[in-house]
Amino acid sequence: MPPASSTTDLLPVFVGGDIGIYGLARAFHEAYGCRAVAVSQVATRAVQGSSFVTNVVVPGLDDEQVLLTTLEKIAADHPDRTLVLLTNADWYVRTIVDNAERLGHHYLMPFCAPDVLEQVSTKDGFAQVCERLGIPTPATVPVNIAALRAAGGREAIAALRVGLDFPVIAKPASSAEHYYLTMPGKKKLDHLATRADLDDLLGRLLDAGYEGTYLVQDAIPGDETQMRSLTAYRDTRGKVTLLATGRVLLEEHTPGALGIPAAILTEAYDDAMDAATRFLDETGYVGFANFDYKLDPRTGQHVYFEMNPRIGRNNYYVTAAGANPARAVVADLVERRSTETVRGTAEALYCVVPFRLLLRYVLDPDLRGRLRRVRREGRLVHPLRYAADASLRRRYVVMGVTQVYRRKYRQYYPRPTSGGF
């Protein structure tokens, strides 16, 4: 690991270029006034025209050697800077962790050990840890697609016992592994109304040559406003130094982004913060973690679905809640100290869609009134709308990014439903 330095020569380097990367770069800029580099496969609108983010476009970045040589070149181009390496994509986390020794000559990196990543990054591994700790998870049936193929392929599907009432949720056990799958109708998450729908999905996975595990889960009742998000940071000394939670109000509905929050109202959930802390301590995890969970109206409990081994795409809600994630990283890696745990408890509305579009999908009148109040009080935040990065060109870019959501929701989720599907 390179020697620690001061924050005056800090240069965060991000792999990716989406809204979440800009939100994280903005957090660093707000805290330290530093520029940033975002490395992506294509030029992205989220960072286009930014005055402080340099977008380095490298086709083929998903190739491990391309990514490594690109990061080494950036390091060589900035020999006198304190480089911090971060990403918010599971597949890049895997490459960085697998090559930590090589990259560690150039970058400060808040990532866990390979064996820890293997344990927490799959949804079935996550469930095993939760079971040990008494943390509620949905009833789940793992389906090993490779084993299903060996048992007869499509002919073996009918004999598969699920034991869950429909509708159910189906999703890959490993998001990183699923990223590389090419399949007609591929989704980040599938809501399956009938057994026939499940059989069809399994058949398509077999046809596509998928070798991983799919999880079939009990569908917790309730719309998107019952979903929750938690972001945590556990430092290299073994202390959780940052926690923030929020109520999801609306999720994205395009196939590749299904389930990613588009609006979050920050709220403090102490039980979730306690559960996340116990989980991270139990596994010896290091770095950012993003937990997805939901309030089950049948029990009144929070039920936990997964932990993503990186900061989330919607991470600017954490900064808006008063827990800037950049400060947690810098204290840990640059200043080499643990801080007291910072909890994001300030009320704010994180939203990437037009406000009126959001209200169309929030059916609870009391919650709608609360959102109007938060907006009226000036606590509505859009991660791309940043006063320190508001050139005319940049304002047009942000306006375009925001307005395109109208078309997306009209196409994929034209009206709200009781289950969010």
Among candidate residues 138, 113, 146, 152, the one with its CA nearest the CA of residue 220: 138
pLDDT-wise least confident of 189-193, 275-279, 293-297: 189-193
Residues near 256 by Cβ (< 8 Å), separated by ≥ 6? 186, 187, 188
**SS3 (DSSP) at 238:** coil
pTM of the shown model = 0.90
Is residue 98 a contact partner of residue 116, using CB atoms and an 8 Å limit? no
Amino acid (one-letter) located at 171 = K
Under 8 Å between Cβ of 192 and 170:
yes
Tens of pLDDT along 341-355? 999 999 999 999 999
* 228-241: pLDDT as tens digits: 999 999 999 999 99
CA–CA separation, 278 vs 291, rounded Å? 13
Residue 368 has pLDDT above 50, yes or no: yes
Phi-psi region of 152 (alpha: psi -120 to 50; beta: other; left: phi over 0): left
DSSP characters over 23-70 = HHHHHHHHHH---EEEEESS--TTTTT-SSEEEEE-TTTTSHHHHHHH
Handedness of CA 303, 305, 311, 314 (dihedral sign): negative
pLDDT mean across residues, the chain: 94
Q: pLDDT tens, 90-140?
A: 999 999 999 999 999 999 999 999 999 999 988 778 999 999 999 999 999
326 or 253: whose pLDDT is higher?
326
Q: Report the pLDDT averaged over residues 179-200.
A: 89
Overall average pLDDT of the 372-382 stretch: 98
On the question of a cis peptide bond just before residue 136, with omega within 30 degrees of 0, the verdict is no
Express each pLDDT in 52-93 by its tens digit: 999 999 999 999 999 999 999 999 999 999 999 999 999 999
pLDDT per residue over 283-292, tens digit each?
Answer: 999 999 999 9
Average pLDDT over residues 200-205: 94
Residue 6 has pLDDT above 80, yes or no: no
User: What are the Cα distances from residue 208, in Å, to 56, 168, 172?
Assistant: 33, 22, 14
**Distance from chain centroid for Cα 86:** 13
**How far is the C-alpha of 135 from the C-alpha of 54, rounded, in Å?**
42
pLDDT score of 4: 45
Q: 233 and 319 in contact (C-beta within 8 Å)?
A: no
C-alpha closest to that of 267 among 302, 313, 299: 302
Tell me the per-residue pLDDT of 325-338, one tens digit each, with 9 for 90 and over.
999 999 999 999 99
Mean pLDDT throughout 41-49? 95
254 has a pLDDT exceeding 70: yes
pLDDT above 50 for 1: no
| 317: enclosing H helix or E strand | helix 316-320
